[in-house]
Every structure is written in structure tokens, then in C-alpha cells.
């Protein structure tokens, strides 16, 4: 242990051992901990250092324990039992260790979550890495502020199931919904649920902040939800997820004729096919054949079987015909240019449908978001 003495003065050692003043002993403890953390130790020295830290973690003076916790909060020299002792201390000592110490096992962190206050749960949720098991317990049992902190932590390993639990528990908590919405990676099914919840938030905002009737706000919320859902499918570019995505829409009763018409107008023929298959209870390959390869009556048959409204059939017929014509001309049917041409040609055919069913199409779909809001409200 002579290496420590080379970095500490005799006065430091005397203050740490004998001083009656807590602030002097805390300053000496800080200096000792900083020296230990910065030194290259062999196994014998490391063991000796950890024994010293265990003694300091049990010191009677809170300032000394706090100096140890703050100075070594992220150090791998901190022994696990000392870290557990400090984690059970007062908040000023416990929170830095809970938030950063690498010595804890998953079980240790779960124990802290289950026994701790909201502040301690937030400290766990904000750690540099939150393992999946710990995150799942936090989501299921944690306080709202802890779940919000966890959702805001992109280094928290949140499973799709855990994200769903967070939405189930805190669907009416804007700070949780916002934190989830801004995560860097989200499963498509979770994003679709967030779209629905976000539209509710927009409705509340419009009713409370602007001179709008509730009816107008509700109409715009529906517009925003369906527009955003189609945009999600545009951006996802993961065709393999469409069956699950469509089934999720149907289970939440948002797989509406209006949504399908809007998707078709944007060239999303795969979404339209999968939606018809889902609604008609038939395999996708059969729905594809009836839409594309079964003669003029094929589309009508699968459309009727899906329970779609008869008055909109000609609009959907025009959309499918437009998609076929543009595909035959060549080009990438998934591109933004294709979608724009699809929309323009579809509108130029003026399919026979009620005005309210085509109101969305008559809006400029590619407007910036703010213009889209004004257009939706004026249409309503």
C-alpha cells in the first residue's frame, strides 16, 4: 500500500483516521478514492484497496460515505457489497452509485427498483446501460417518472412486449408517450399505437388552445391518424411486416375504407392487398390474384367479401387501374415520384365517390405538416 502514501500526505492520512471534522475527513476520503481509482493495481493491491473502500462505505459520517459514492460512482474498483451498502444509504449517497456503478448485477438493480422510491427508480432507468430484464421490471412496476426516464434512455434494452406494457400503463401520460415516440428505434406495431395516442393528444391541444369545435377537432384527429399511418408504411419499407401490421390495425378497428383509399392513392398497393386479405379472411396470395389476375369481377368479389362499402368501389377500381397503368410504364413503384404521379392520375379520373370520402385526396398530401393541419381543418 506504499503506492497510496506516495500520492497522499501524512496529513491526509491523519485527517481521515483521527479528525473529528466531517468535512476534513470527507476531503481526505475523496483524495484517497481518487488515487485508488487512477492507479494501476495488481491483484493483491486491488484486494487491499477494496477492503479500504468497504470500510469507508460503512463510515459513520455521511459526508465521508458521500465522498466515496460520488468519487467512485462509475469505477470498477468498487466492490459489489460496498456498492449495495451505499445503494441503501440516504439519497445523497445512494443515487450516484445506483445511477452509475458497474458492480451491480441485474438482480441487484431489480431489488433496488422494487424497494426504492421514484428517485431511485429514475436513477436505475437513467443508467448508461439498462439490461432487458431490469427494463421489463421497471416498465411493469415502476413509477411514471421512472418509466418516462427509461423510455428516454436509448441505451435501455426495451423489448416490444415491454414497450406495449408501457403504453398500456401510461397511455394517458404525455411525458411517457413523448419519450417513447422519440426513441431511436421502435417496432412498427408500437409506432402505430403511438400514432393513435398522438392523435388524441393533438385533439386535446386543438380543443384547449384554438377556437375549434370538438367535432372539428375529432375530424382532424382522424385525418392525422390515418395520414400518419400511411406515412409510416411509406417510411418502413419492410414489406414482410405488413401482415402483422395490417392485423394490428384491424384488431384496433382502424383498418377503415378511408385509410385504404388513402393508401391506394399513394401507390401502397401491397397494403391494400393485405388489408383486403385480412378483412375477407383469405390468404394474401388469393387476394392478390383477385385484385390483379382474375378479370374485371375479381376485384369486385374480394372487395365485397371484405365488407367494403359499395358506394366506394368505383374509387378503388380507379385506383387499381391507375396503379397498373403506371406500373406498365416502368419505374420504381416504391418511389416518391411514383406516388405523386399515382395521386395526380387518380384524382384526374374523378372516381364516383361521395365528396367526404375523397376529401383527403383533394388535400395536397405532400404539403409541409403545418399546411396539412390547416387543410384538414378547412376541409372539416
Per-residue pLDDT, 291: 92
Q: Do 233 and 279 reside in the same domain of the chain?
A: yes
Instruction: Please tell me whether residues 235 and 355 are part of one structural domain.
Output: yes
Ranges 166-175, 212-221, 246-255: which has the least confidence? 212-221
Domain annotation covers residue 97: no
What percent of the chain stands above pLDDT 90? Answer: 37
DSSP string spanning 286-351? HHHHHHHSS-HHHHHHHHHHTT--GGGHHHHHHHHHHHHHHHHT-S-TTSHHHHHHHHHHHHHT--
In a domain? residue 58? yes
Q: How much is the pLDDT for 219?
A: 60
Q: Are residues 27 and 167 in the same domain?
A: no
> What does the mean pLDDT of the chain come to?
79
User: Domain for residue 55, yes or no?
Assistant: yes
Domain match, 174 and 218 both = no
Q: What is the mean pLDDT of residues 15-35?
A: 77
> Per residue in 261-303, pLDDT tens?
878 877 888 889 999 999 999 999 999 999 987 677 899 999 9
Indicate whether 345 and 202 sit together in one domain.
yes
Q: Are residues 213 and 360 in the same domain?
A: yes
- Domain stops at, among 52, 73, 94: 73
Domain for residue 84, yes or no? Answer: no
Mean pLDDT of all residues in 149-153: 97
Burial class (CB in 10 A: 0-12, 13-18, 19+), 172: exposed
More confident residue, 280 or 209: 280
- 375 shares a domain with 337: yes
Percent of residues, the chain, with pLDDT higher than 70: 71
Q: Flag whether pLDDT at 373 surpasses 60.
A: no
Query: Domain span at residue 5?
Result: 1-73
For the ranges 72-86, 182-196, 308-322, the lowest mean pLDDT is seen at: 182-196
Joined grid coordinates for residue 282:
383469405
Mean pLDDT across the stretch 331-359? 63
| Stretch among 231-235, 242-246, 248-252 having the lowest mean pLDDT | 231-235
Q: What is the pLDDT of residue 231?
A: 65
Residues 137 and 200 reside in one and the same domain: no
Count up the domains in the chain and report the number: 3
Composition of the chain by helix, strand, coil, percent to 5: 75, 0, 25
Residues 179 and 59 in one domain: no
Top-confidence residue, 374 or 356: 356
Please report whether residue 227 resides in a domain.
yes
Same domain? For 165 and 280 the reply is: no
More confident residue, 214 or 182: 182
* Least trusted range by pLDDT, from 84-88, 144-148, 259-263, 285-289: 259-263
Rounded Cα distance between 228 and 224, Å, is 6
Q: Looking up cell 370538438, which residue turns up?
A: 214
Whether the predicted pLDDT of 149 surpasses 90: yes
CA 203, CA 212: separation in Å to the nearest integer?
10
If asked whether residues 9 and 49 sit together in one domain, one would say: yes
100 domain-assigned: no
Q: Is residue 377 scored above 50 in pLDDT?
A: no
Q: What was the pLDDT predicted at 198? A: 59
User: Do residues 47 and 124 share a domain?
Assistant: no
Strands (E), the chain: none
Residue where a domain terminates, one of 152, 186, 220: 186
Q: Is residue 133 domain-resident?
A: yes
Q: How confident is the model at residue 4 (pLDDT cuts 50, 70, 90)?
A: very low
Residue pLDDT, tens place only, 318-339: 888 888 888 888 867 667 677 6
Domain boundary among 155, 186, 217: 186
Q: Yes or no: say if 169 and 141 are a contact pair by the CB < 8 Å rule.
A: no
Q: What is the mean pLDDT of residues 158-162?
A: 95
Query: Is 330 part of a structural domain of the chain?
Result: yes
| Cα–Cα distance, 180 to 148 (Å, whole number) | 8
Task: Kindly state the average pLDDT of the residues 191-206.
Answer: 58
Amino acid at each position: 500500500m506504499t503506492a497510496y502514501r506516495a500520492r497522499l500526505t501524512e496529513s491526509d492520512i491523519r485527517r481521515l483516521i483521527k479528525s473529528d471534522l466531517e468535512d476534513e475527513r470527507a476531503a481526505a476520503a475523496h483524495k484517497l478514492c481518487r488515487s485508488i481509482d487512477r492507479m494501476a493495481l495488481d491483484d493483491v493491491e486491488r484486494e487491499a484497496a477494496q477492503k479500504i473502500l468497504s470500510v469507508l462505505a460503512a463510515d459513520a459520517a455521511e459526508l465521508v460515505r458521500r465522498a466515496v459514492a460520488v468519487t467512485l460512482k462509475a469505477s470498477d474498483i468498487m466492490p459489489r457489497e460496498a456498492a449495495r451498502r451505499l445503494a441503501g444509504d440516504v439519497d445523497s449517497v445512494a443515487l450516484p452509485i445506483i445511477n452509475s456503478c458497474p458492480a451491480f448485477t441485474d438482480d441487484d438493480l431489480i431489488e433496488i427498483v422494487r424497494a426504492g422510491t421514484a428517485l431511485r427508480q429514475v436513477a436505475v432507468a437513467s443508467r448508461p446501460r439498462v439490461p432487458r430484464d431490469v427494463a421489463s421490471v421497471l416498465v411493469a412496476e415502476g413509477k411514471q417518472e421512472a418509466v418516462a426516464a427509461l423510455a428516454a434512455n436509448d441505451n435501455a434494452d426495451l423489448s416490444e412486449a415491454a414497450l406495449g406494457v408501457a403504453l398500456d400503463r401510461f397511455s394517458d401520460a404525455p411525458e411517457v408517450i413523448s419519450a417513447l415516440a422519440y426513441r431511436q428505434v421502435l417496432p412498427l406495431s408500437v409506432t402505430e399505437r403511438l400514432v393513435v395516442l398522438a392523435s388524441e393528444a393533438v385533439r386535446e391541444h386543438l380543443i384547449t388552445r384554438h377556437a375549434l369545435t370538438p367535432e372539428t377537432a375529432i375530424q382532424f384527429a382522424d385525418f392525422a391518424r390515418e395520414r400518419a399511418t400511411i406515412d409510416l408504411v411509406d417510411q418502413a419499407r419492410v414489406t414482410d411486416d405488413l401482415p402483422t401490421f395490417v392485423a394490428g390495425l384491424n384488431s384496433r378497428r382502424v383498418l377503415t375504407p378511408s385509410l385504404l383509399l388513402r393508401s391506394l392513392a399513394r401507390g401502397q398497393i401491397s397494403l391494400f392487398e393485405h388489408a383486403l386479405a385480412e378483412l375477407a379472411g383469405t390468404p394474401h396470395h388469393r387476394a392478390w390474384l383477385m385484385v390483379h389476375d382474375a378479370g374485371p369481377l375479381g376485384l369486385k368479389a374480394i372487395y365485397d367479401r371484405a365488407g367494403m362499402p359499395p358506394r366506394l368501389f368505383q374509387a378503388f377500381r380507379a385506383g387499381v387501374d391507375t396503379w397498373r397503368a403506371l406500373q406498365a410504364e416502368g419505374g420504381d413503384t416504391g418511389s416518391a415520384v411514383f406516388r405523386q404521379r399515382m395521386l395526380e392520375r387518380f384524382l384526374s379520373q374523378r372516381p364516383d365517390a361521395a365528396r367526404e370520402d375523397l376529401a383527403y385526396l383533394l388535400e395536397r398530401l405532400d404539403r409541409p405538416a403545418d399546411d396539412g393541419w390547416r387543410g384538414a381543418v378547412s376541409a372539416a
